[in-house]
Structure 1
Amino acid sequence: MRSLGIVASALAVAVLAASCADPESADEAPAADDVTMGVTDDSVVIGTHQPLTGPASPGFVHVSTGASAVFDYINDNGGIHGRQIDYRVEDDAFDPAQTMDVTDKLIDEDEIFAMLGGLGTPTHESVIGELNEEGVPDLFVSSGALAWDQPEEYPYSYGFQVDYSREAKVQGSFIAENFAGDDVGLLYQNDDVGPASHSGIEQYLLDDIVAWEDYDPGVPELDGQVAALKESGADVAVCYCIPAFLGMAILQAQAIGYEPQWVAPSFGGDVEIVSQLIEEYAEGTPAEDVPPEAFTDGLIITAFLPMAAQTDDPWTAFYREIHDEYNDGAPFTDTTVYGMVQATLFAQVLMEVGPDLDRETLLETLNSQEWTGPGLVPFAATEDDHSGYSGVMVVQNRAGEEPELLQEPRVTDSDGGEILPFDLDRPAPEDVPLFGGTS
């Protein structure tokens, strides 16, 4: 890999923009002043709502720090077409009412050009209508809900992470093949995460599922749900949970002598964060003397991005360099990488647009080509498909070692389509024009 100084050399190089259909009709297009909102000759203002506090903050607080580090690196190396990226992060505490307030601020006071990576299903659902009515590009939502992939209703909104149904399909197929005959219990967040995940995993395991237990992210307690999973006899426990509740579930299970095979999705299985939370939760209990990594050893995880523990991956190594320079003292986690990939993809699109930046050209450019980079699976962003990443790999956490790859990345759809292998020409950082490549 090239050094940071070398790969930064082409940051100010313009790339000609491609063109395709306008996402809105002429009658619905925003006023000319609006399409360049937030853009000046030397900066572009973008915003995001993130749970810097509240029940989702453990782990997810690192999404915006990861994105910030990449933007700081880009800005220190000349910006994009001479513009600095002005990244405004607002705390919504994972509360939809606060999401609406901070989004109003970002649109009306900060006059953002685009929203990037707004985090959470119930939170972002509360503002998606406003963003689209105002003509604000709403890129790479940090949630696997299907709502972001509705281009006819929400032409300005685009998904990012693999949706919950696709991810659960791959999990269900893997469990059916590798844990045949085992009973399966589900623990899931009581919003769109639950139904969307069920529609995927039940395609392969409906007859094997013996428990459906939900939780409220505002209620930090899982004693009853974990006890019910144990009573059901579930050999495999699939936790469609954010990191705080995955850690809580694993620790509570150990406390009552329940030791299933835990399976976690990409949005909850950040091992570094989950282990830190388990250590915190275990204080003052009989488990406080147990190394926290012992609780996550053997955890099966699905993922669509390179993981922080995969040190041989060129993108992980590249991001680690940036992290060490711009996030000194902060942990380097999977959610850090998640934010870094979002920032990279957004910056790639800005680079491709060229110096004449406006909202309509941004979306035309996003829709116009296949985007490759850090992701392990194909990324969908076209006029008719706003779904984002299209599949996952399956790995198993091994304490003190790199994750063990159990199944190569595979892709599928959100309905009843097959789960398929694929070929992806995945570039290294130095092959990407943003970071020094020429093609």
Structure 2
Amino acid sequence: MLFVARRLAALSTAIAFLAICQDGAFAQKKYDTGVTDTEIKIGNIMPYSGPASAWSMVGKAEAAYFRRLNAEGGINGRKIKFISYDDGYSPPKTVEQARKLVESDEVLLIFSSLGTPTNSAIHKYMNSKKVPQLFVATGATKWDDAAEFPWTMGWIPSYQSEAQIYAKYILKSIPSPRIAVLYQNDDLGKDYLKGLKDGLGSMAQSMIVVEESYEVADPTVDAHVVKMKSLNANVFVDITGPKFAAQAIRKAAEIGWKPVHLLASVSSSTGAVIQPAGVENAQGIISVAYLMDPLDPQWRDDPNMKAFDQFLERDFPEGNRADGMVSNGYNLARTLVQVLKQCGDNLTRENVMRQAASLKDFRSGTLLPGITINTSRSDFAPLKQMQLRRFDGAKWELFGPVISGARS
């Protein structure tokens, strides 16, 4: 009887200890709105309609990646519920959709929403609500302001840094430059323009012979291109969206204008811009890159490119391999997954931002060699490195070293 009593006492102790362990494990789980043991709600806003709809391929690629992730079990057993709405690249509509995601759908965060003017419209709202506005799909410098806007973080290299690289190239490589600038009349275009002028420094006023702006609702930029040629500009800094970039390339060829053409990376997609414009018209255009070009044969046997190709074949067959927006969405989605993995079972909004600000030498998939993602509590600019590239009539060809753009 004594032996049985001792066995029962030991068993009771073990059961009690197990219960304590289980309670402790349960207590370690910390959730905010949008998270359960089986689901994480992620919000997203894209211009699926309107003049910037070519960029919406980013969101479509992300949705495909999350579907594959869910089919494989999700993140730590939780499936991603990706709720993506159309704003038509209209800031008032973005505000409406953001409120719907936060207040009605009750998402954990809004991820990779696209557009500088559209994200600017919800910048203060997201921070007042203390809801992460994470990996904004725009390179405006304002997203790297951890002190004033601790709930907002960008992802791609800043537009100002990119434009400063173009300025350095002009100063070094082009004798007697007469620069014509065509820019989108919003925060995106103005950010690029500031970076260009900062990079040119005291020479900006004498080198820039014309600054032409357009509205996203305009039907065409052809008249601007004709005017720039008439002023004998020999450098064209093209800060336009995909639709207008294709128009500008075609029109320049049509009127026989052959300047040194520097094209903003946001509109350098071969599939979305170069091919519609006519590859024969795009020869010699210069831009920058931070991702591998799927059309460049040097990456054919790279394991990261093979994984991307498998994703397209298996999970996103409608995605155009030549469209840079697809690879952007793929890399953005993989970066968010890394952050959520680092969160473990502490899926609070505060911890999401803490983990997003703790990325060290992370490679999201098809980043160019030598380029990694790094963040800290005071550095909300995940990507800071780029490499110049030139379109050779068939594909983009990298040249020069990987450059860390200056940040102002």
1:327 to 283, 303, 316: 316
* 1:199 and 2:190 aligned: no
8 Å contact kept, 2:290–2:387: yes
- The whole-number CA distance in structure 2 between the counterparts of 1:34 and 1:42 is 13
Letter of the structure 2 residue corresponding to residue 303 of structure 1:
A
Return the alpha-carbon distance in structure 2 between the equivalents of residues 311 and 64 of structure 1. 26
- Could you say what secondary structure the match of 2:325 adopts? helix
Pair 1:339 & 2:325 matched: no
What letter corresponds to residue 405 of structure 2 in structure 1? T
In structure 2, C-alpha distance between the alignment counterparts of 1:128 and 1:73, rounded to whole Å: 31
State how far apart, in whole Å, the 2-side matches of 1:341 and 1:311 are: 20
Change (3 A) 1:335 1:151: same
Paired amino acid for 1:177: K
Mapping 1:100-115, distance limit 5 Å: 100-115=95-110
Q: Tell me, yes or no, if the aligned pair for 1:300 and 1:396 is still in contact at 8 Å.
A: yes
Which residue matches 2:381?
387
Q: State whether structure 2 residue 407 is matched by structure 1 residue 407.
A: no
Unmatched tracts of structure 1, length 5 or more: 1-32, 279-291, 416-439
Task: State how far apart, in whole Å, the 1-side matches of 2:104 and 2:275 are.
Answer: 37
Q: Is the 8 A contact 1:185 1:229 kept in 2?
A: yes
CA contact (8 A) 1:142 1:161 kept: yes
Matching residue of 2:62: 67
Deviation at 1:317, TM superposition (A): 3.0
Letter of the structure 1 residue corresponding to residue 50 of structure 2: G
Match of 2:163 among 164, 168, 171: 168
Q: Which residue of 1 aligns with 2:32?
A: 36
Answer yes or no: is the 8 Å Cα contact 2:362–2:374 preserved in 1.
Answer: no
Q: Does 1:348 align with 2:342?
A: no
Query: Structure 1's 312 and 351: CA in aligned 2 closer, same or farther, altered over 3 A?
Result: farther
What residue ranges of structure 2 are gaps of 5+ in the alignment? 1-28
Partner of 2:10: none
Distance in 1 between the 2:298 and 2:333 partners?
A: 21
Distance 1:190 1:261 in 2: 22
Give identity over the alignment, percent.
27
- Structure 1 residues 316 and 240 mapped into 2: Cα distance closer, same or farther (>3 Å)? farther
Residues in 2 aligned to 1:368 and 1:389: alpha-carbon distance in whole angstroms: 13
* Secondary structure in structure 2 of the residue aligned to 1:155: coil
SS of the residue 2:85 aligns to: strand
- TM-score, structure 1 length as denominator? 0.80
Counterpart secondary structure, 2:288: strand
Distance in 2 separating the partners of 1:213 and 1:160:
28
Distance 1:43 1:212 in 2: 49
Q: What residue in structure 2 maps to residue 238 of structure 1?
A: 237
When you count helix as a share of all residues, which structure comes out higher?
2
Shift of 1:352: 1.5
Match in the other structure for 1:47? 43
Instruction: Provide closer, same or farther for how the CA distance between residues 95 and 62 of structure 1 changes in structure 2, counting only shifts above 3 A.
Output: same
1:141 and 2:136 correspond: yes
Alpha-carbon distance in 2 for matches of 1:184, 1:344: 38
1:274 paired residue number = 273
8 Å CA contact 1:316–1:337 kept in 2: the answer is no
After superposition, the Cα gap between the structure-2 partners of 1:275 and 1:195, relative to the gap in structure 1 and judged at 3 Å, is closer
Deviations 1:390-431 (A, max 9, x none): 131111112334x2112222003322xxxxxxxxxxxxxxxx
TM-score by length of 2: 0.85
CA drift at 1:371:
4.2
Out of 93, 99, 104, the position equivalent to 2:94 is 99
Contact 2:359 2:374 in 1 (8 A): no
Aligned to 2:9: none
- Structure with more contact order per residue of length (Cα contacts < 8 Å, sep ≥ 6): 1
Q: Could you tell me which of 77, 81, 85 is aligned with 1:86?
A: 81
RMSD: 1.9
Which of 351, 354, 369 matches 1:364?
354
Q: Match of 2:156, SS?
A: coil
Contact 1:169 1:200 (C-alpha < 8 Å) held by counterparts:
yes
Counterpart for residue 13 of structure 2: none
**1:297 matches 2:292:** no
- Write the deviation string for residues 81-116 of structure 1: whole angstroms up to 9, x where unpaired: 001111111000000111111111111221111111
Q: How far apart, CA to CA, are the structure 2 residues paired with 1:40 and 1:307?
A: 38
Name the counterpart of 2:8.
Answer: none
Contact 1:265 1:303 in 2 (8 A): no
Aligned amino acid, residue 170 of structure 1:
I
Amino acid at match of 1:336: V
Question: How far off is 1:171 after superposition?
Answer: 1.2
Change (3 A) 1:353 1:258: same
Whole-Å Cα distance in 2 between the matches of residues 328 and 230 of structure 1? 41
Number of equivalent positions: 368
Residue 298 of structure 1, CA deviation: 2.1
Amino acid paired to 1:331:
N
Partner of 1:310: 296
SS of 1:302's equivalent in the other structure is: strand
Aligned pairs for 1:206-217 (under 5 A) are 206=204, 207-217=206-216
Pairing 1:397–2:385 present: no
Confirm or deny that 1:117 pairs with 2:106: no
CA deviations on 1:134-192 (whole Å, 9 max, x unpaired) are 11111111111122122222111001111111000111112222223232211111112
